Amino acid sequence: MADFAFTDYSGKEFVIRLTNDQRIEEARRILSGEETMSVHVMGRIRKQPAEYNPGWSFHLDPDTITFFTMAIEVCDASITYVDDHLDEACGAFLPGCFWCPWSSRLTREIR
């Protein structure tokens, strides 16, 4: 298990927890600069806070997190927009609860 932080164009920080060894290694390759294509964060939101992601009323389900190069527009939204419109998420907004902030960028591993 490992926690990583990412930001989006808003500059706000969001923390994800990875439990899959392959995903943890992918995240570390992104941070080292070895991986330059699939660098954006995608996953299914859970409408509840997580202790490792303070300040937000939702988190990403660790079992659903992947990294992507490009994704469909319907899953793109900023961290703050998702938090502000959480009651609308998982319907027409973020169908299936999938969130893929296009401007997401891993910034650090939290140890």
The pTM assigned to this predicted structure is 0.94
Domain span including residue 6:
2-110
Query: Are the C-beta atoms of 31 and 109 separated by less than 8 Å?
Result: yes
R_g (Cα) of the chain, nearest Å:
13
Per-residue pLDDT of the chain (111 residues; tens, 9 = 90+): 999 999 999 899 999 999 999 999 999 999 999 999 999 999 999 999 999 999 999 999 999 999 999 877 789 999 999 999 999 999 999 999 999 999 999 999 998
26: enclosing H helix or E strand: helix 21-32
Question: How many domains is the chain partitioned into structurally?
Answer: 1
